């Protein structure tokens, strides 16, 4: 029987409840989900790659079919490394859709054996983004309803 593996890449700086929702929904549909914590030299991250990976791992420790790995470079290469059949992406806005559609097309051209599956954000999680979470947390405002407890604690510690 064929096992379906997908990757869900992102910077996860920080991991949000929106990310967790997509990961949990994907884990219910696919045999294996590999969460790829990405290193992007063009992005100035609040948390180091090691910190981001550890936070993601701690939040997903109880989900049996979800694994965490870090990567740099092309997502399609990361997907190949894990023998994934698809890349999972999340959509919140029309701008997200346009960007993700372009990325999906390029990834398909790089490897036609890897599809992109887009999950629409749930309405109650629609406005959550890592950038907004960081902006709010930097102003010492409560972000606890938008992120897991361990991420909230890490944000408070990092920004104190």
What backbone torsions phi and psi does residue 26 show, to the nearest 5 degrees?
-65, -40
Is 19 a known active-site residue? yes
Name the catalytic one among 25, 81, 82, 92. 92
Name the catalytic one among 19, 52, 89, 134. 19
135: CB partners within 8 A, 6+ apart: none
CB 91, CB 120: distance < 8 Å: yes
For the chain, give the longest Cα–Cα distance.
Answer: 51
Name the catalytic one among 2, 43, 62, 145. 43
Is 43 a known active-site residue? yes
Distance between CA atoms of residues 67 and 77, nearest Å: 17
Name the catalytic one among 27, 53, 130, 134. 130
Distance between CA atoms of residues 77 and 36, nearest Å: 11
Active site residues: 19, 43, 92, 130
């Amino acid at each position: 029987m064929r096992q379906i593996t997908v990757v869900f890449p992102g910077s996860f700086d920080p991991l949000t409840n929106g990310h967790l929702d997509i990961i949990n929904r994907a884990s219910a549909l696919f045999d294996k989900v590999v969460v790829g914590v990405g290193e992007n030299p063009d992005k100035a991250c609040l948390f180091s790659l090691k910190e981001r990976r550890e936070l993601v791992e701690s939040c997903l420790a109880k989900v049996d079919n979800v694994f965490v790995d870090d990567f740099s470079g092309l997502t399609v290469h990361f997907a190949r490394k894990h023998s994934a059949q698809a890349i999972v992406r999340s959509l919140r806005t029309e701008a997200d859709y346009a960007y993700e559609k372009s990325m999906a097309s390029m990834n398909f051209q790089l490897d036609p054996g890897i599809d992109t599956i887009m999950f629409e954000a749930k309405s109650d999680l629609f406005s959550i983004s890592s950038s907004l979470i960081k902006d709010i947390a930097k102003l010492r405002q409560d972000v606890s309803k938008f992120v897991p407890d361990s991420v909230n604690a890490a944000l408070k510690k990092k920004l104190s």
